[in-house]
């Protein structure tokens, strides 16, 4: 039987990596033999496993090795990664390495190089002549240029899935529970508030991704307050969110509905398109703020507080607003820059933009998803954003409570939690 030796290192017991690796081999019809297994006996010690994997055919073995690679296993006695020149702009070599969203390294010229800009579904480009030595970085297929050295195959590539924390202490400790629909909501809101406050206190970056439902459900004022208070460093949304936020300022409605009285004013269904027309005449959202046309809301606070925002367009957009990026590739690039700079991401009631931003995030970026539908978080996880922790609730009720909790938190507060004392 063809066989290869692979290695696993890190907190592979607590993180479940060992069990997943064994399961992959058996489920795919292979066999494994553990040659060496060193177990970390303290919380700060890692474990090491070296095992031989075998299969009936070379093709089956390659499939098993591919799945093990995705879970952090590395082929023992590694070789340098294979690289080939891209034959043309936006054309990658056959069998190019497609990235995961896990921290990745490639072996080049006998040394392991950390891949910059961790993101799923990209190519890895090696620049051997970079100042300071060779560098490697992810590049979406749309950004590959003729002559780029692109990594081909999985040999010489290793990934590092995020490991389970040693314990549940600290402001990020609660983010291990998947979708939270039964936990006491007040304690969970406080824990999220502590994440935001601690991130800001440490000089980190909080990215908020809101959907139009934030405006419909009555969360506009609370989100605007978070922006005004300096707890939002960047905002990523779509044309619809901005239109409804601006409509609320101009007409007191959101998609024609009076948010306060729930009445439908006469011609209310035209308010959103009237709003777009007004902003186009002004020239942009910042110009409308400067002219005094817009004087409240989330977009107003972003403009006056110099908080950068990205409005990514879609085929469904009315107008769109002059600030909306209608070039898909350009919008992806703008979202990608925001995602790579983020230390914490808060996804608020928007499936499409949650998935879009989630696709650009490294797997070790804490991500909190608030939605009335638990399927939103499930879809995020299914599409690779396994780090997403969900809170199932009405975003219009969540945001005001979050503002109160943020105001009550002092930097340095910790959440309560119990840890796992197992090493490895």
pLDDT digits (tens, 9 = 90+) for 97-154: 999 999 999 999 999 999 999 999 999 999 999 999 999 999 999 999 999 999 999 8
Q: Which residue has the higher pLDDT, 376 or 85?
A: 85
Model pLDDT for residues 289-333, shown as the tens digit of each residue: 999 999 999 999 999 999 999 999 999 899 999 999 999 999 999
Domain 78-164 has CATH 2.60.40.10: no
pLDDT above 90 coverage of the chain, percent = 63
Instruction: State yes or no: pLDDT of 169 exceeds 70.
Output: no
Whole-number pLDDT of residue 265: 73
Query: Angle CA(336)–CA(338)–CA(339) in degrees, nearest 5?
Result: 65
Whole-number pLDDT of residue 421: 40
Domain 179-247+295-408 has CATH 3.30.450.40: no
Model pLDDT for residues 8-31, shown as the tens digit of each residue: 888 888 778 888 899 999 999 999
Domain segments of the chain: what residues? Answer: 1-76, 78-164, 179-247+295-408
Tell me the whole-structure pTM to 2 decimals: 0.82
Instruction: State yes or no: pLDDT of 173 exceeds 60.
Output: no
CB atoms within 10 A of CB 8: 22
Cα separation of 64 and 159, whole Å?
16
Tell me how far apart the 2 most distant CA atoms of the chain are, in Å.
76
Q: Answer yes or no: same fold for 78-164 and 179-247+295-408.
A: no
Model pLDDT for residues 382-416, shown as the tens digit of each residue: 776 777 788 888 999 999 999 999 999 876 555 44
Class of domain 1-76: alpha beta
Whole-number pLDDT of residue 268: 76
Q: State the average pLDDT for the chain.
A: 88
- Strands 103-108 and 157-160 turn out to be antiparallel
Model pLDDT for residues 228-262, shown as the tens digit of each residue: 999 999 999 999 999 999 999 999 888 777 777 66
């Amino acid at each position: 039987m063809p066989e290869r030796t692979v290695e696993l290192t890190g907190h592979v017991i607590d993180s479940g990596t060992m069990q997943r690796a064994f399961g992959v081999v058996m489920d795919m019809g292979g066999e494994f033999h553990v040659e060496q297994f060193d177990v970390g006996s303290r919380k700060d010690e890692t474990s090491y496993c070296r095992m031989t994997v075998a299969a009936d055919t070379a093709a089956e073995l390659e499939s098993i090795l591919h799945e093990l690679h995705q879970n952090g296993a590395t082929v023992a006695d590694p070789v340098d990664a294979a690289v080939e020149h891209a034959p043309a702009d936006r054309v990658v070599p056959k069998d190019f390495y497609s990235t995961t969203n896990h921290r990745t390294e490639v072996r080049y010229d006998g040394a392991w190089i950390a891949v910059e800009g961790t993101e799923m579904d990209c190519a890895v480009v090696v620049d051997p002549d970079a100042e300071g030595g060779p560098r490697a970085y992810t590049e979406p297929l749309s950004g590959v240029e003729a002559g780029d050295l692109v990594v081909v195959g999985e040999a010489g590539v290793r990934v590092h899935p995020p490991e389970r924390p040693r314990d549940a202490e600290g402001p990020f400790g609660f983010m291990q529970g998947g979708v939270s629909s039964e936990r006491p909501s007040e304690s969970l809101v406080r824990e999220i508030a502590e994440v935001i406050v601690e991130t800001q206190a440490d000089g980190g970056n909080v990215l908020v991704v809101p959907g139009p439902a934030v405006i419909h459900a009555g969360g506009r004022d609370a989100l605007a307050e978070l922006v005004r208070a300096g707890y939002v460093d960047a905002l990523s949304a779509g044309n619809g969110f901005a239109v409804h936020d601006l409509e609320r300022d101009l007409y007191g409605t959101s998609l024609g509905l009076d948010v306060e009285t729930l009445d439908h004013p006469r011609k209310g269904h035209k308010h959103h398109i009237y709003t777009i027309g007004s902003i186009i005449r002004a020239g942009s959202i910042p110009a409308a703020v400067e002219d005094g046309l817009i004087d409240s809301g989330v977009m107003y606070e972003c403009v006056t507080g110099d908080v950068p925002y990205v409005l990514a367009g879609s085929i469904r957009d009315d107008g769109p607003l002059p600030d909306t990026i209608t070039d898909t590739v350009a919008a992806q690039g703008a979202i990608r820059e925001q995602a790579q700079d983020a230390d914490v991401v808060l996804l608020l009631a928007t499936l499409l933009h949650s998935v879009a931003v989630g696709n650009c995030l490294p797997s070790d970026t804490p991500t909190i998803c608030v939605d009335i539908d638990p399927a939103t978080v499930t879809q995020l996880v299914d599409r690779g954003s396994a780090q997403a922790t969900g809170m199932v609730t009405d975003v219009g009720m969540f945001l005001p409570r979050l503002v109160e909790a943020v105001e009550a938190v002092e930097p340095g507060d910790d959440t309560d939690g119990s840890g796992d004392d197992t090493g490895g």
